[in-house]
């Protein structure tokens, strides 16, 4: 029998066994398969939590009420009734309010397959009926997406594609200064799927090659290398101050590369007067930085000296910019690297996002594989992705974004597929309020997620295991035939079939489907992929042969890249696409926007909440809520693997023994985290691998707000009831999930009724 495979954002797997014994094994090529897949099959077969039939919310069905949207029950119905209702609602809204009143930003990480990409399917359909308001940028790195074009003259996507390869880092780098670490945890995941996980391999090679690393992070396990590693447990959200302290040390000792700064950078003199305090009266010395970031001045001075003497890579994880003023650590990291003058050389310079996902710095050729065509959106209205609550709460309100003045549209209908705002957004109780505003909310989902449980019409979607597709990721050297391994549960349908049926009802079927079946579309993608392969000098097998073998490895794909290499070699001939043609330490354009929260050059600007804030209380702790080790965001939290790591049914809270002791908390105790925005429960895990004034609660436990003793308490351990719903700045409006202070106490209250993944109402 031929091998059967599937792929996901967390990896590529071989199917072993059949029926009840079916399981997924990492493929041979993968040196470190992710265990996230361990919980996949049982989550897909979790009949209690799958959406099995179309369902309508009772309050909406009976009287179109929206006020009980976040706390209602559902009536199951047949497909035709549900599809008729959805079509009628879309039609009513677009006729009454215009297509702009339909919000289908639909942000999220649905399937890794190229064809069944849920948002693409939704958008293609909506484009045929007049379009929709959409969203710009990502929750992952909005600050970078808006900032990088100004300072390096290219989109973050191109910047990421050109990241200096990890093979060159392993070969040449002597000192890796890793802000936010190089984390094996996040390196498990790749947007659009991956065949291998090799970040740990490269870090191991680098260590064996003598590279020393400095893990600058509130958490020790954020670094996965095996060579000599020093942990500098920085106070969260203060990296910009530390970088300024390092910059000042370089400057004070005349160890900055003046020639590089003159030749390749714009604005050094202005920045210099900020660094010395000439412009604002504060000299950004190591002592000054130390008072903010809580790392000793001597350590800062020592590190600066080592950086100047070594072949150094300054690496910044994406996490740093998901904080208040998240533009600054990227900008300052780049400035620090520019002062060292090692940008454009092999293995040194500036890195952004190494290990934040698998393929950043992967030494492989990029391949521009085709994707499912979305068509053209006739509506131009869009919001910055993380401004969803603001938009729903304040239609017509003005806001700033990327230098422009914009106004929020008046949204009447929300259609979400392949994403979970009640996982991903900050301050979920605020989102609950905002969520009562639209007249209608429609969701296609596999599971009764918190978002499905807050929709008026829920349509059951198949999971990737229940259909065929192709994984082709431009950053991966393998193409994978994703076989159908499991029969669809209940009445689940593919998103494509759902939108076909809706297009038919709204008279746009011909435009939506172009007369093609699903099989035709997938074959067409393969055919177009064949053209791409040919341009790259090789042939793909024919479709049937590919399906038979399951994996195709593209030949000769090794390729090393060096960030900004051509510009460094020839700054006049290959200038950057910035205003000055150079790296912009000062951006006159950004300066011209007059934004106090994102001025013309990198600066230390106090976050709205942090441990050094004058309003911070002695017993406040900084909450880090990064990515979960056992799942992808909220996906598979109901699976056995994620469940197996829960503590007393709740998400694990990593807390230092000193902090625990001061609060009477023992290992495995239930605890309550709280601040003015909300409260949630978690299970304490004591560890000295975290700062005593910082706690870590991974994102993704399924939002389950309950009332205990008359008070609202989230009982799964979802950090987004505590996080702040504010943009990084008026430049990017990115989310600030990593900025928030909380208090923690032992929970002696009643054991939560559910204490885990909420079952369906």
Ligand X SMILES: Nc1nc2c(c(=O)[nH]1)N[C@H]1C(S)=C(S)[C@@H](COP(=O)(O)OP(=O)(O)OC[C@H]3O[C@@H](n4cnc5c(=O)[nH]c(N)nc54)[C@H](O)[C@@H]3O)O[C@H]1N2
Q: Where in the sequence numbering do the catalytic residues fall? A: 107, 109
**Residues 472-511: x where in contact with ligand X by CB under 6 A, - otherwise, as a string:** -----------------------x----------------
What residues contact 258, with CB distance under 8 A and at least 6 apart? none
**Residues 88-117: x where in contact with Mo ion by CB under 5 A, - otherwise, as a string:** ------------------------------
Q: Is 585 helix (H, G, I), strand (E, B) or coil?
A: coil
- If one asks whether residue 169 binds ligand X (CB under 6 A), the answer comes out as no
Please identify, using beta-carbon distances, which residue of 5 and 448 lies nearer to ligand X.
448
| Stretch 356-385 residues interacting with Mo ion (CB under 5 A) | none
Question: Which does residue 720 touch among ligand X, Mo ion, none (CB within 5 to 8 A, set by kind)?
Answer: ligand X
DSSP character for 330? H
Please identify, using beta-carbon distances, which residue of 341 and 419 lies nearer to ligand X.
419
The candidate with the shortest Cα–Cα distance to 608, out of 729, 503, 712, is 729
Question: Which does residue 608 touch among ligand X, Mo ion, none (CB within 5 to 8 A, set by kind)?
Answer: none
Distance of closest approach, residue 472 Cβ to Mo ion, in angstroms: 20
CB half-sphere exposure, 383, CA atoms < 13 A:
32
Exposed, middle or buried, 593 (CB in 10 Å: 0-12/13-18/19+)? Answer: middle
- If one asks whether residue 124 binds ligand X (CB under 6 A), the answer comes out as no
- If one asks whether residue 140 binds Mo ion (CB under 5 A), the answer comes out as yes
Distance of closest approach, residue 242 Cβ to ligand X, in angstroms: 8
Q: Which of 738, 747, 756, 757 touches ligand X (CB under 6 A)?
A: 738
Q: Which of 624, 655, 682, 715 touches ligand X (CB under 6 A)?
A: 624
Question: Which does residue 423 touch among ligand X, Mo ion, none (CB within 5 to 8 A, set by kind)?
Answer: ligand X
Please identify, using beta-carbon distances, which residue of 9 and 14 lies nearer to Mo ion.
9
- If one asks whether residue 142 binds ligand X (CB under 6 A), the answer comes out as no
Q: Which of 162, 290, 440, 627 touches ligand X (CB under 6 A)?
A: 627
Among 83-91, 174-182, 292-300, 364-372, which window interacts with ligand X (CB under 6 A)?
Answer: 174-182
What residues contact 703, with CB distance under 8 A and at least 6 apart? 422, 423, 428, 450, 714, 716, 718, 720, 721
CA distance linking residue 36 with residue 251, whole number of Å: 46
Q: Which of 99, 133, 310, 449 touches ligand X (CB under 6 A)?
A: 449
Q: Which of 164, 440, 625, 733 touches ligand X (CB under 6 A)?
A: 625
CA distance linking residue 375 with residue 378, whole number of Å: 10
CA distance linking residue 547 with residue 214, whole number of Å: 45
CA distance linking residue 483 with residue 4, whole number of Å: 6
| Stretch 339-358 residues interacting with ligand X (CB under 6 A) | 356-357
Q: Is 310 helix (H, G, I), strand (E, B) or coil?
A: coil
- If one asks whether residue 156 binds Mo ion (CB under 5 A), the answer comes out as no
Specify whether the CB–CB gap between 266 and 585 falls below 8 A.
yes
Specify whether the CB–CB gap between 28 and 49 falls below 8 A.
no
Could you tell me the CA-to-CA distances from 22 to 7, 240, 642 in Å, in that order? 15, 49, 19
**Under rule CB under 5 A, how many of the chain's residues touch Mo ion?**
1
Q: Is 323 helix (H, G, I), strand (E, B) or coil?
A: coil
CA distance linking residue 147 with residue 164, whole number of Å: 19
Please identify, using beta-carbon distances, which residue of 100 and 651 lies nearer to ligand X.
651
- If one asks whether residue 635 binds ligand X (CB under 6 A), the answer comes out as yes
Among 72-80, 140-148, 174-182, 449-457, which window interacts with Mo ion (CB under 5 A)?
Answer: 140-148
CA distance linking residue 557 with residue 571, whole number of Å: 29
- If one asks whether residue 328 binds ligand X (CB under 6 A), the answer comes out as no
- If one asks whether residue 55 binds ligand X (CB under 6 A), the answer comes out as no
- If one asks whether residue 646 binds ligand X (CB under 6 A), the answer comes out as no
Distance of closest approach, residue 696 Cβ to ligand X, in angstroms: 6
Among 12-20, 69-77, 338-346, 444-452, which window interacts with ligand X (CB under 6 A)?
Answer: 444-452
Q: What is the largest CA-CA distance in the chain?
A: 74
Exposed, middle or buried, 383 (CB in 10 Å: 0-12/13-18/19+)? Answer: buried
Please identify, using beta-carbon distances, which residue of 270 and 687 lies nearer to ligand X.
687
Please identify, using beta-carbon distances, which residue of 445 and 584 lies nearer to ligand X.
445
| Stretch 212-241 residues interacting with ligand X (CB under 6 A) | 216-219, 222, 234, 236-237, 239
Contacts of 500-508 with CB under 8 Å at 24 or more apart are 501/79, 501/83, 502/83, 502/86, 502/87, 502/90, 502/125, 503/125, 503/128, 503/129, 505/83, 505/84, 505/87, 506/87, 506/90, 506/91, 506/128, 506/129, 508/125, 508/128, 508/129
Specify whether the CB–CB gap between 107 and 419 falls below 8 A.
yes
| Stretch 391-430 residues interacting with ligand X (CB under 6 A) | 417-420, 423-424
| Stretch 98-117 residues interacting with ligand X (CB under 6 A) | 108-111, 116
Instruction: Specify the residue for token string 């079939």.
Output: 497
**Residues facing 26 on adjacent strands:** 13
The candidate with the shortest Cα–Cα distance to 365, out of 140, 532, 176, is 532
Please identify, using beta-carbon distances, which residue of 12 and 319 lies nearer to ligand X.
319
Please identify, using beta-carbon distances, which residue of 66 and 723 lies nearer to ligand X.
723
Specify whether the CB–CB gap between 641 and 712 falls below 8 A.
no
- If one asks whether residue 135 binds Mo ion (CB under 5 A), the answer comes out as no
Among 261-269, 272-280, 526-534, 628-636, which window interacts with ligand X (CB under 6 A)?
Answer: 628-636
Radius of gyration of the chain from its Cα atoms, rounded to whole angstroms = 25
CA distance linking residue 374 with residue 99, whole number of Å: 17
Specify whether the CB–CB gap between 601 and 331 falls below 8 A.
yes
- If one asks whether residue 737 binds ligand X (CB under 6 A), the answer comes out as yes
- If one asks whether residue 734 binds ligand X (CB under 6 A), the answer comes out as no
Q: Which of 106, 164, 185, 578 touches ligand X (CB under 6 A)?
A: 185
**Under rule CB under 6 A, how many of the chain's residues touch ligand X?**
61
Question: Which does residue 347 touch among ligand X, Mo ion, none (CB within 5 to 8 A, set by kind)?
Answer: none
Distance of closest approach, residue 376 Cβ to ligand X, in angstroms: 23
- If one asks whether residue 630 binds Mo ion (CB under 5 A), the answer comes out as no
CA distance linking residue 237 with residue 433, whole number of Å: 29
Exposed, middle or buried, 35 (CB in 10 Å: 0-12/13-18/19+)? Answer: middle
Could you tell me the CA-to-CA distances from 38 to 24, 359, 446, 745 in Å, in that order? 7, 22, 18, 33
Please identify, using beta-carbon distances, which residue of 184 and 715 lies nearer to Mo ion.
184
Please identify, using beta-carbon distances, which residue of 12 and 578 lies nearer to ligand X.
12
Q: Residue 41: enclosing H or E segment and its boundaries?
A: helix 40-44
- If one asks whether residue 718 binds Mo ion (CB under 5 A), the answer comes out as no
Q: Which of 139, 271, 526, 702 touches ligand X (CB under 6 A)?
A: 139
Q: Residue 658: enclosing H or E segment and its boundaries?
A: helix 657-662
Q: Which of 89, 445, 725, 730 touches ligand X (CB under 6 A)?
A: 445
Instruction: Specify the residue for token string 């510009």.
Output: 567
Main-chain dihedrals φ then ψ at residue 479, nearest 5 degrees? -110, 135
Interface contacts to Mo ion, rule CB under 5 A: 140
**Can you give the binding site for ligand X, defined by CB under 6 A?**
108-111, 116, 118, 139-140, 179-181, 183, 185-186, 188-189, 216-219, 222, 234, 236-237, 239, 317-320, 323, 356-357, 417-420, 423-424, 444-447, 449, 461, 495, 624-629, 632-635, 699, 719-720, 723, 737-738
């Amino acid at each position: 029998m031929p091998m059967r495979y599937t792929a996901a954002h967390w990896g590529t797997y071989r199917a072993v066994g059949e029926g009840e014994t079916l399981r997924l094994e990492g493929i041979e090529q993968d040196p470190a398969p992710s265990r996230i897949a361990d919980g996949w099959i049982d989550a897909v077969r979790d009949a209690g939590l799958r959406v099995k039939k179309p369902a309508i919310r009772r309050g909406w069905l009976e009287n179109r009420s929206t006020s009980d949207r976040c706390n209602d029950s559902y009536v199951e119905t047949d497909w035709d009734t549900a599809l008729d209702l959805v079509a009628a609602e879309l039609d009513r809204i677009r006729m009454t309010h215009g297509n702009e009143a339909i919000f289908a930003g639909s942000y999220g990480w649905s399937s890794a397959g190229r064809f069944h990409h849920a948002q693409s399917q939704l958008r293609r359909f909506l484009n045929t009926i007049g379009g929709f308001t959409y969203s710009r940028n990502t929750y992952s790195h909005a600050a970078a997406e808006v900032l990088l074009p100004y300072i390096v003259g290219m989109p973050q996507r191109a910047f990421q594609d050109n990241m200096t390869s990890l093979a060159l880092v392993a070969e040449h780098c002597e000192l890796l200064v890793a802000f936010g670490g190089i984390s094996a945890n996040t390196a498990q995941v790749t947007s659009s799927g991956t065949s291998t996980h090799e970040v740990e391999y490269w870090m191991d090679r680098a260590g064996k090659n003598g590279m020393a690393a400095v893990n600058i992070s509130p958490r020790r396990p954020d670094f996965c290398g095996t060579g000599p590693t020093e942990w500098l447990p920085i106070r969260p959200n203060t990296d910009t101050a530390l970088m300024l302290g390092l910059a000042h040390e370089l400057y004070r000792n005349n160890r900055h590369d003046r020639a590089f700064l003159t030749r390749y950078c714009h604005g050094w003199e202005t920045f210099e007067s900020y660094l010395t305090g000439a412009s604002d009266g504060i000299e950004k010395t190591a002592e000054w930085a130390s008072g903010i970031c809580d790392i000793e001045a001597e350590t800062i001075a020592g590190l600066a000296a080592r950086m100047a003497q070594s072949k150094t890579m300054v690496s910044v994880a994406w996490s740093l910019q998901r904080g208040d003023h998240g533009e600054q650590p990227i900008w300052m990291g780049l400035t620090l690297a520019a002062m060292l003058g090692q940008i454009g050389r092999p293995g040194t310079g500036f890195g952004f996002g190494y290990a934040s996902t698998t393929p950043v710095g992967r030494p492989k050729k990029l391949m521009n594989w085709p994707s499912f065509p979305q068509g053209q959106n006739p509506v131009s209205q869009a919001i910055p992705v993380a401004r969803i609550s603001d938009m729903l709460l304040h239609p017509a309100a003005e806001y700033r974004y990327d230098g422009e003045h914009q106004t929020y549209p008046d949204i009447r209908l929300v259609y979400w597929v392949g994403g979970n705002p009640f996982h991903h957004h900050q301050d979920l109780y605020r989102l609950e309020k905002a969520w009562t505003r639209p007249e209608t909310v429609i969701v296609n989902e596999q599971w009764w997620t918190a978002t499905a449980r807050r929709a008026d019409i829920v349509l059951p979607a198949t999971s990737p295991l229940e259909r065929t597709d192709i994984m082709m990721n431009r950053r991966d050297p393998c193409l994978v035939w994703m076989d159908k391994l499991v029969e669809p549960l209940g009445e689940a349908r593919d998103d494509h079939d759902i939108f076909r049926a809706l297009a038919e009802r709204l008279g746009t079927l011909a435009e939506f489907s172009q007369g093609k079946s699903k099989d035709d579309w997938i074959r067409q993608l393969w055919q177009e992929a064949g053209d791409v392969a040919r341009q790259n000098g090789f042939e793909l097998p024919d479709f049937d042969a590919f399906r038979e073998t399951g994996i195709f490895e593209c030949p000769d794909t090794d390729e090393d890249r060096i960030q900004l290499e051509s510009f460094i070699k020839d700054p006049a001939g290959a200038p950057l696409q910035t205003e000055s043609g150079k790296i912009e330490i000062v951006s006159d354009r950004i300066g011209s926007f007059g934004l106090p929260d994102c001025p013309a050059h990198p600066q230390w600007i106090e976050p709205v909440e942090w441990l050094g804030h004058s309003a911070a209380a002695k017993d406040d702790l900084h909450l880090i809520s990064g990515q979960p080790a056992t799942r992808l965001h909220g996906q598979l939290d109901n699976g056995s693997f994620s469940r197996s790591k829960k503590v007393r049914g709740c998400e694990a809270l990593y807390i230092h023994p000193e902090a625990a002791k001061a609060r009477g908390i023992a290992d495995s105790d239930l605890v309550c985290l709280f601040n003015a925005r909300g409260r949630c429960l978690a299970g304490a895990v004591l560890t000295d691998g975290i700062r005593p004034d910082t706690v870590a609660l991974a994102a993704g436990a399924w939002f389950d707000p309950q009332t205990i003793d008359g008070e609202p308490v989230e009982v799964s351990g979802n950090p987004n009831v505590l996080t702040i719903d504010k943009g990084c700045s008026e430049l990017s409006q990115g989310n600030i999930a990593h900025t928030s202070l909380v208090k923690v106490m032992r929970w002696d209250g009643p054991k939560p009724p559910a204490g885990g993944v909420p079952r369906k109402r």
